[in-house]
Structure 1
Amino acid sequence: MKRLVAVTLALALAGAAQASAESMVISPNGSRPSAKGPDQYFTGSVVVDPLYPANDQTSSSGGLVTFEPGARSAWHTHPAGQILIVTTGIGWVQEEGGAKREIRPGDVIWTPPGVKHWHGATAGNGMSHIAVTNMAGGKNVEWMEKVTDDQYLR
């Protein structure tokens, strides 16, 4: 009887694991091509590695963004906010009217909807972050003017 219960339990667990595995989607590394950050939205060398798109189950998209030293985004806002998770290097973030702030690996930055800001690497160090950007009305970003060298170095 114990053996029958053990076999039945093992089969049930295997079936549950298989059912769960069939409902998961794995997007293998290398299946999402890297892209150069467009010159109209970035200054310097930036690479964007898509992680996941928004879909019917989630209203956010995710990407790994890598900035070489001196590289940065243009000023922009997010209609539904954004989370940045710094993974490597040292960077800067700045919201309009505020001081430039240093960010390091492990830092998590929440930018509320509509806050004009920029982010990027410091002048001497590269920086990477995971960006989780929420969607509103089918849009996740509103790009604006580029950050000038004077603004960046201030």
Structure 2
Amino acid sequence: MTKNEETVKNDMFGFGDKNVAFAKYFIGTSYLNGLVSPDDNIDINVSNVNIEPGCRNDWHIHHDGFQILLVTAGEGWYQEEGKSARKLHPGDVVAIHEGVKHWHGATKDSWFSHIAITKGTSEWLEKVDDSYYEQLAD
């Protein structure tokens, strides 16, 4: 097994299914388990996002809202435009304000899991290319 794979796959919030709907915005494979049903009639999405080693989403911006990441397992990266990438561990919390360009994903050698609490819409931008990502120090 890969680093943290068992912990992520047995997460208390459920592993979920392949994130097919958003796959075009990721390099690698992610899994999504929605924790709040659309039938609950609230305008905030809460999901458990599980990411295989090396997987990351594209640069993006949240409009008319925000995103909060609650790291529950594994190791990952978060980066805002113009700042250094920040390594994430279980228990870390990231508050992402409206209009902030950013990306997040797993480290090269570890699975990664976080609860994403998101309000508003996402504008998807360029990929986090392999040459840049490979330079991040684990």
TM range (shorter): 0.7 to 0.9
Tell whether 2:35 aligns with 1:51: yes
TM-align CA RMSD: 2.0
Distance 2:96 2:38 in 1: 18
Distance 1:42 1:146 in 2: 8
Write out per-residue CA displacement over residues 67-90 of structure 1, whole angstroms, 9 at most, x where no aligned residue.
Answer: 111000011111111000001001
Distance 2:98 2:38 in 1: 17
If you compute each CA radius of gyration, which structure gives the higher value, 1 or 2? 1
Q: CA deviation at 1:120?
A: 0.4
Tell whether 2:117 aligns with 1:132: yes
What is the TM-score of this pair, normalised by structure 1?
0.71
Higher strand proportion, which one? 2
* 1:3-152 aligned within 5 A: 34-37=17-20, 38-53=22-37, 58-79=42-63, 80-135=65-120, 140-152=121-133
Q: CA deviation at 1:53?
A: 4.5
Equivalent position of 2:7 in the other structure? none
Q: List runs of 5+ in structure 1 lacking aligned partners.
A: 1-28
Distance 1:69 1:35 in 2: 14
Q: List runs of 5+ in structure 2 lacking aligned partners.
A: 1-12
Identity rate of aligned residues, in percent? 43
What is the TM-score of this pair, normalised by structure 2?
0.78
Equivalent position of 2:3 in the other structure? none
SS at 1:141's partner residue?
strand
Count of residue pairs the alignment pairs up: 120
Cα distance change, pair 54–116 in 1 and its aligned pair in 2 (3 A):
farther
SS at 2:23's partner residue?
coil
